[in-house]
Chains A and B, each alone.
Chain A
Amino acid sequence: MNEPVRPRPLTRAPLSARSDRTFQGLILALASVIVLVFVLSVYQLGRESWPALREFGLSFYTERTWNPVSGQFGAAQMLIGTLVTSLAALVLSVPLAVASALFVAEYAPKWLANPVGYLIELLAAVPSVVYGLWALFVIAPILGRWQQGFFADPANVALYTRCQDLWNSGQTTLQCFFVPSAFDGRGLALAIIILTVMILPYTASVARDVIRLVPADQREAMYALGATKWEVISRAILPYARAGILGGVILALGRALGETLAVAMVIGDSQEIIKSLWGGASTMASVIANQFGDAQERLHRSSVVALGLGLFFLSVAVNFLARVVIARLTPKGIQ
């Protein structure tokens, strides 16, 4: 019988489970940088916002006055600005995004679906600052022309005068909220418009992926009942894809909350109470961009970083919300 040869040392390298432990240690060390970045972020933001948080306490996030001159800093106005712009952009963009996803996934023939899908992905790749530039140079003048047209009517000027009195006393009415308070197109409305455009591709591409994953038998079962295409979409596809789309919507919300330069360039950087849709406002991110560089005062600077800390935790919260929603709402039996 043939005796197989015992192995002789074939190699120079120390090939054993021990070398595996070394490699795993190296990979772990590098992967730990991820943990480190997170910890350092919390530490840095916490340390730098400490003076402001010590001075104002947690009421920093609920107090409305932001006045670098008097050294009064409260972030409520920016928090509201952030939420208002983001949620409004979300409300405007979701129907459009879902519709475009349906178009790509359900309606368009392949020769059209692919290029449209491409374009939507490219939209997501356009930098914030380029959106800002376009909004400033193209959309703002259009809105500005409309605003100037508004004041061409004497009745509107009278309305404006009445509203201005209200605004000066820190109040507004529903009617006055829609009266322009600026003439150059910049302000809250423009910020919402550009944010809407910016988050559209995120929701659209998530929604498209989710819709494509809806099993064919769900569609076919509905068609077999004699449903029209729209009935199949509204009763079979959308209910099935609901969780995934909502997850995408929440991720888009996360984007919108932290979107900085495009908003900072067009929102008009006002830290006063929002009184008109057309007036200036600010978001947490826009204030960081517009004021951190100029903030010489220690308390001012620290307050700006505290905005960043708030934004940090807001993003973390939104991220967790998205996971919970996706986990909870996913139809049973889907992996």
Chain B
Amino acid sequence: MTAQSTPLSGRPRPRLSAARRLRNLLMGVLIALSTVVVVAPLLLIFFYLLREGLGAMNLEFFTRTPAPEGETGGGLLNAILGSLQMLAMASVLGVGVGVAGGIFLAEYPRHPLMPTVRMLSDVLAGIPAIVMGLVAYGLIVLQFGFSGLAGAVALGFLMIPIVVRTTEEVLKLVPVTVREAGLSLGLPQWLVILRIVLPAAAGGIITGVMLALARVAGEAAPLLFTAFGNPLVNLDPTKPMSALPLEIYRGATSAYDENQRLAKAGALLLILIIFATSLLARRASRRR
């Protein structure tokens, strides 16, 4: 042992050159700074809306419709109720088709239509929301006029691929042996899927649905030519309907201070709802 240490100690020790050390440090600092730049807009937007919008979020904001142009006061009750109605209707389409599509992809991988459905679902996920608005316009509005239902269909189309993907992913997390155990009991496959596999994946599916809802709740583009907007409270899905993102868009591009003020408060409410939904969904998926 001691005999070997002599030649070793004679070798030059490798040293980290100053240039390498400096570059390492510099890149670390740059990376940290970039992260600050990436995250900063979120905080800037949030505090801007908090400062500008919180004051306008009073009782009137939740209980009144927008005041006529040029007048002060009013609220976004029409938009809040419109968004709720359209999201509920969109969920029927998005969850019904989305969960079924996820089941189809995860549970019937040998079906000849499986690759087609998988591919088209991915393709739909990439179609811009405004284009879906044009499609829903052509499908519904051309015949029946602007309506909350048409808006909900556009939003539902946008939800479908998101729900399909998460449903498929969480169903695949349920071990194959759980399915086999069900089948070995002499249960038909449909009962195994509905009563054993789906309940086991329910948490993940709910998370996916919530994320899909959070995503489409903020969409204004597909509603422009479908739900169109409505200054009044409307509970009839066959009539034009307002939505929070629509009012934000109209208010922000309006010349009137009052409309801008409502838009900022609406934007604050919208991102609060969306953030809460996203965080809840994440927490739900964490716990599993």
Interface residues of A (CB under 8 A from B): 15-17, 19-20, 22-24, 26-28, 30-35, 37-38, 40-41, 44-45, 47-48, 95-97, 99-100, 102-104, 107-108, 116, 118-123, 125-134, 136-138, 197, 200-201, 204, 226, 228-231, 233-234, 251, 254, 257-261, 265, 285, 288-289, 292-293, 305, 308, 311-312, 315-316, 318-319, 323
Main DSSP-derived SS at the A contact region: helix
Q: Are A99 and B48 in contact (CB under 8 A)?
A: no
Question: B123, B186, B217 — which one has the most chain A CB atoms within 10 A of its CB?
Answer: B123
In the assembly, what is the distance between CA of A37 and CA of B244, in Å? Answer: 26
A119 to B44, CA, bound (A): 12
Stretch at the interface among B1-9, B57-65, B127-135, B172-180: B127-135
Q: Which B133-187 residues have a C-beta within 8 angstroms of A?
A: 134-135, 137-139, 157, 160-161, 164, 186-187
Neighbour of B135 across the interface among A41, A132, A265, CB < 8 A: A41
Taking the nearest CB of chain B, how far is it from the CB of A55, in angstroms?
A: 19
Q: Note all chain B residues with C-beta closer than 8 A to A22.
A: 190
Does B135 lie within 8 Å of A44, measured CB to CB?
A: yes
Q: Are B135 and A258 in contact (CB under 8 A)?
A: no
- B121 to chain A: which residues have CB within 8 Å? 34
| Closest Cβ neighbor of B274 among chain A residues | A125
Q: How far is the CA of A110 from the CA of B279 in the complex (A)?
A: 18
Known contacts A129-B252, A228-B16, A308-B134; decide if A28 and B221 are in contact (CB<8 Å): no
Contact segment of B32-40, B70-78, B200-208, B232-240: B32-40
Contact status A200-B97, CB under 8 Å = no
Chain B interface category by residue count: 35 or more
Instruction: Show 18 A/B contacts (Cβ-Cβ < 8 Å), sorted by A.
Output: A23-B190, A35-B116, A37-B157, A37-B160, A38-B124, A125-B215, A125-B274, A127-B220, A133-B263, A137-B264, A228-B20, A228-B24, A258-B129, A258-B131, A292-B225, A308-B130, A316-B123, A316-B127
Asked if B120 and A99 make an inter-chain contact with CB atoms under 8 angstroms apart, the answer reads: no
In the complex, which residues of chain B have a beta carbon less than 8 angstroms from the beta carbon of A20?
188-190
How far is A186 from B194 in the complex, measured between Cα atoms in Å?
54
Known: A197-B41, A226-B14, A319-B122. A231 touches B97 (CB 8 A): no
Given A31-B104, A128-B221, A99-B160 contact (CB < 8 Å): no
Which of B126, B190, B270 contacts A130 (CB under 8 A)?
Answer: B270
Listed residue (B52, B138, B139) with the most chain A CB atoms within 10 angstroms of its CB: B138
- Docked Cα-Cα span, A212 to B23, in Å, equals 23
Contact of A312 (CB < 8 Å), options: B116, B127, B138, B190: B127
CA of A232 to CA of B157, assembled, Å: 44
Determine which residue in A38, A136, A200, A318 has the highest number of CB atoms from chain B within 10 A of its CB, and name it: A38
Checking B28, B124, B253, B271 against A34 with a beta-carbon cut-off of 8 angstroms, the contacting residue is B124
In the complex, chain A residues whose CB is within 8 Å of the CB of B131? 41, 45, 258, 288, 308, 311-312, 315
